[in-house]
Chains A and B, each alone.
Chain A
């Protein structure tokens, strides 16, 4: 495929997919280790009511208020889960399921009740995203990468996801020590003066920000899959946290690239002429990777588990 075709049509979706996957996979490592993996699931469900409310308040489909609404909804849901868990004495899983289904239901109902026929805002879009449509129309080939006027027309989602990725990396780099300590040994971390509660909350907020930024570009399915599958697969490959983060980045990038390519060109190989959903395919590929590492990964067994 020539640059004239690749750069405008495939380069930006690929980059956005990769950035979104890595931005979700990095905090996902800690969520998986802390047994909070389903927080990603909850967040990606409650993003919908946040976006709908933002739309109803402002009346326009603009990125800034919607991202803000989604972030507020995500944080609100975390607070609500914690409140229901503590006040009602309910186990965390049930509290989480209760919260996100209720908020999602409220979002769907608001969406159906309000007059959104004139704008592009629907549940299916929120679930699948539209990675394929994030193309760079002004590019004419590889030379556009150094052309300032063409670069100015890059899809804005690219910058947003890239910013989220940088933010996630910065958070992990700055808070690495307290984060690792409180993940592996909360009691020990507390004796060293680490505020484990705040660290946990900060991690969830960072995950929410990454989820919202990625959601905007690629839909909630990739977000949930990337929070869990690459880190879980990486967990089966190694016993060291650094290595696990590395593996998860590799798996995330691999899922994004392979998923995008299979979705775009896979059907052609089988004689169909239409592409399938890239978001769904990326999630599927990440699942295949997880399956392979669960079958063949060197550290797949629990330590001390009986040999079968």
Chain B
């Protein structure tokens, strides 16, 4: 059953919803990248909550005009208008008053959502029974979705994705360096609005699938996940899109297999699983890689200190240092150096002296800047330079035994 769902064997509507959700996931991931890089990830929270009054008002207006109140395009149009107003309110509060952006976001999201709930209760009393579908916008529901609705979502996802791909260059520029972008002729305000507008489009299209409480996750979690894997914007947007698309595909497919598996939460939890994996396993920024790097660094520090102590005939009390030296065959269990150890220790001490010369001499300034106590001097200077330094130090002397 699950395999059927993942490979699109569960009927026409389920297939369409899955594809639509995946397209939406990809465009959410890519849009979210720019939102995240612009450090405005939580603005999407205000946008998504601000859709509720629009949905409710659109429903009321359509019923009053005698149309079917549940027509999805109409509801989504209402959602887009009210969340646009919400977005303008956030911008206005941040620009024109002393309130910080987080307070503006919180105020807009709670007030719009509260007003939306007031309208929902109005609808409940107005036409009891016919409003049953509107609660689905809170948490998303793809079960029993009509064919037309699925088409709206698939087309909406595809159009958003096309727009994001078209605008990715200027958006990346603005996200990293607004001043440079402005000086090279990009209209920063307009691109900012475009980023927000795309986030808004993703939110509105995703309302029916994921629900307004959780749609934020599709804009936030994939970029955060992608950030672990790369330092390049275009790659980050691509990885983020893939993560978002994969999570949405799996979420929509899994939820099609059973009625008690709502789409939104499954998509979010799949995204989170991808995030958790990246947090652990990503090269360079992942916890595992950081841990390994730290351990390796620790070993090198202990090794160096141990060798210097051997060279100067000092006793070694640190247990870890001793273990390292013994494992490398440089010292006996009682801390006395082996012949190998004596040679390596003499070399370490000599290198240390060489470094002192390098750091004292202005001529070696650029090499001296690389000194961190662990770098091998051969990686910094040429053999000729080392020979020149050795001439100043004098020839090697035997280690006192």
Judge whether A90 is part of the interface by a CB distance below 8 angstroms.
yes
B116: chain A residues at CB < 8 Å are 280
Asked whether any CB of chain A lies closer than 8 Å to the CB of B371, the reply is no
Q: Which A residues are in CB contact (< 8 Å) with B220? A: 94, 97-98, 101
The interface residues of chain B lying within 8 Å CB-to-CB of A38 are: 42, 45, 102, 105-106
Q: List 12 A-B contacts (CB under 8 A).
A: A37-B106, A105-B214, A113-B260, A123-B138, A231-B103, A274-B125, A277-B121, A281-B118, A294-B99, A297-B97, A300-B97, A301-B96
Determine whether the beta carbon of A93 is less than 8 Å from that of B39: yes
> A45 vs B106: C-alpha distance in the bound complex, in angstroms?
13
Q: Judging by beta carbons under 8 Å apart, are B217 and A284 in contact?
A: no
Decide: B106 and A302 in contact? CB cutoff 8 A: no
The contact of B217 among A87, A97, A124, by CB within 8 Å, is: A97
With an 8 A cutoff between CB atoms, is B224 at the interface? yes
Query: Within A102-139, which residues are at the interface with B (CB < 8 Å)?
Result: 102, 104-106, 108-109, 112-113, 123-124, 127-128
Whether the pair B262, A277 counts as a contact (CB closer than 8 A) is no
Q: Does A272 count as interface, using CB distance less than 8 angstroms? A: yes
A38-B102, A98-B224 given; A283·B111 CB < 8 A = yes
Interface-lining segment among A67-75, A161-169, A201-209, A219-227: A219-227
Q: Is the CB of B135 within 8 A of A124?
A: yes
Q: Is B114 an interface residue (CB 8 A)?
A: yes
**Residue from the set B104, B114, B260 with the largest chain A CB neighbour count within 10 Å:** B114
| Cβ 8 A contact of A102, one of B113, B217, B262 | B217
Within 8 A of A (CB), among B249-283: 260-262, 264-266, 268-269, 272, 275, 279
Whether, in the assembled complex, A282 has its beta carbon less than 8 Å from a beta carbon of chain B, the answer is: yes
Tell me the interface secondary structure of chain A in the complex: helix
Instruction: Report yes or no: A102 in contact with B268, Cβ–Cβ below 8 A.
Output: yes
The answer to whether B99 and A235 touch across the interface, beta carbons within 8 angstroms, is: yes
- Residues of B with C-beta under 8 A to A84: 279
User: Chain B contacts of A277 at CB under 8 A?
Assistant: 117-118, 120-121
Closest A residue to B124 using CB positions: A274
A40 to B266, CA, bound (A): 25
Minimum Cβ distance to chain A for residue B312 (Å): 40
B304 CB within 8 Å of chain A? no
Range class of the A interface residue count: 35 or more
Among candidates B102, B106, B122, B125, residue contacting A224 with C-beta atoms closer than 8 Å: B106
Contact A299 B42, beta carbon cutoff 8 Å: no
List residues 269-308 of chain A with CB under 8 A from any CB of chain B: 272, 274-277, 279-284, 286-287, 290, 294, 297, 299-303, 305, 308
Tell me the smallest distance from the CB of A141 to a CB of chain B, in Å.
Answer: 29
For B221, list chain A residues within 8 Å (CB).
97-98, 101-102
Whether B227 is near chain A, meaning CB under 8 Å from some CB there, is: yes
B41 CB contacts on chain A under 8 angstroms: 91, 93-94, 97
Given A102-B269, A108-B264, A224-B109, A94 and B97 touching (CB < 8 A)?
no
With A280-B115, A301-B98 given, is the CB distance from A109 to B107 under 8 Å?
Answer: no
B63 at the interface (CB under 8 A from A): no
B287 in the interface (beta carbon within 8 A)? yes
* A197: interface (CB < 8 Å): no
Instruction: Say yes or no: B213 contacts A45, CB within 8 Å.
Output: yes
Query: Considering only CB atoms, which chain B residue lies closest to A40 in the complex?
Result: B106
Residue from B96, B109, B216 within 8 A of A101 (CB atoms)? B216
Contact yes or no, A90 B114, CB < 8 A: no
- CB B39 to nearest CB in A, in angstroms, measures 6
Q: A38-B105, A112-B260, A301-B97 are in contact. Are A128 and B269 (CB under 8 A)?
A: no
Tell me the B95-153 residues at the A interface (CB within 8 Å).
Answer: 96-100, 102-107, 109-118, 120-122, 125, 135, 138-139
A104 touches B213 (CB 8 A): yes
Measured CB to CB, the residues of B under 8 A from A are 36, 39-42, 44-45, 93, 96-100, 102-107, 109-118, 120-122, 125, 135, 138-139, 213-214, 216-217, 220-221, 223-224, 227-228, 260-262, 264-266, 268-269, 272, 275, 279, 285, 287
Contact assessment for B122 and A276 in the assembled complex, using a CB-CB cutoff below 8 Å:
yes
A96 located at the interface, meaning its Cβ lies under 8 Å from any Cβ of chain B in the complex: yes
CA A109 to CA B279, docked complex, whole Å: 23
Determine whether the beta carbon of A287 is less than 8 Å from that of B114.
yes
**Contact partners of B265 in chain A: CB under 8 A:** 104-106, 108-109, 112
Which residues of chain A come closer than 8 Å to B114, judged between CB atoms? 221-222, 225, 279-284, 286-287
CB pair B138 A127 closer than 8 Å = yes
By a CB distance below 8 angstroms, the chain A residues around B223 are 94
Flag whether A22 is at the interface (Cβ < 8 A). Answer: no
Interface residue from A35, A106, A276 paired with B121 (Cβ < 8 Å): A276
A179 within 8 A of partner (CB): no
Residues of A with C-beta under 8 A to B122: 267, 272, 276
CB distance from B255 to the nearest CB of A (A): 10
Most chain B beta-carbon contacts within 10 A, residue among A89, A108, A222, A267: A108
CA of A41 to CA of B46, assembled, Å: 11
Query: With the chains together, A82 CA to B93 CA distance in Å?
Result: 28
A36 to B103, CA, bound (A): 8
Residues on B with C-beta less than 8 A from A235 are: 98-99, 103
Closest to B225 in A: A98
CA of A106 to CA of B265, assembled, Å: 7
- Given the known interface contacts A38-B105, A236-B97, the answer about A102 and B272 at a Cβ–Cβ threshold of 8 Å is yes
Q: Which residues of B contact A225 (CB under 8 A)?
A: 107, 110-111, 114
> Could you tell me the distance between the alpha carbons of A98 and B218 in the complex, rounded to whole angstroms?
9
Cβ-closest chain A residue relative to B223: A94
Contact indicator A290/B107 (Cβ below 8 Å): yes
Q: How far is the CB of B243 from chain A (nearest CB, A)?
A: 13
With A93-B42, A123-B138 known to touch, is A283 a contact of B113 (CB < 8 Å)? yes
